[in-house]
Homo-oligomer: A and B are copies of this chain.
Amino acid sequence: MRIGELSERTGASRRLLRYYEEQGLIISQRCANGYRTYDERLADRVLQIRGLLDAGLPTRIIKQILPCLDKPRDIVFADATPEMLTTLERERDRMTERIDCLIRNRDAVAAYLEAVRDNVRCEGAGEASVRG
């Protein structure tokens, strides 16, 4: 798969895919003519990267957590330095904080929407419920 197809599959621009490579988030093989070639699995990885970026993690951090997600068993024993483990623990905790914050606010938005919906239903039946 070349960069155009990967771009279409993932929704990331070609420019962005080169950027991710530059940042060390993905790797590519090169054809004889210099074109990038990607493994099938890269599509999933790119989507994962975009999800994490979208969730507020910078590439620098994503780069560190990605290796954990490939094939846990094989990589666990690779090069897990104490500093890296500390970083990962901190990131895990920060992710949990983000999750909690997002859940709280999502639920609040959802509650608001439901309240509006219920009220609209009331108004549809009789108007002058609260506002008037």
Contact = CB atoms under 8 A, between A and B. Distances in A.
Contact of A96 (B73, B106, B131): B106
B130 A98 contact: no
Contacts of A110: 92
Say whether chain A's binding surface is mostly helix, strand, loop, or mixed: helix
Interface residues of A, number: 42
Given A56-B56, A72-B112, A112-B72, A102 B105 contact: no
B56 A119 contact: no
Interface of A: 48, 51-56, 65, 68-69, 72-73, 75-77, 80, 85, 88-89, 91-92, 95-99, 101-103, 105-106, 108-113, 115-116, 119, 130-131
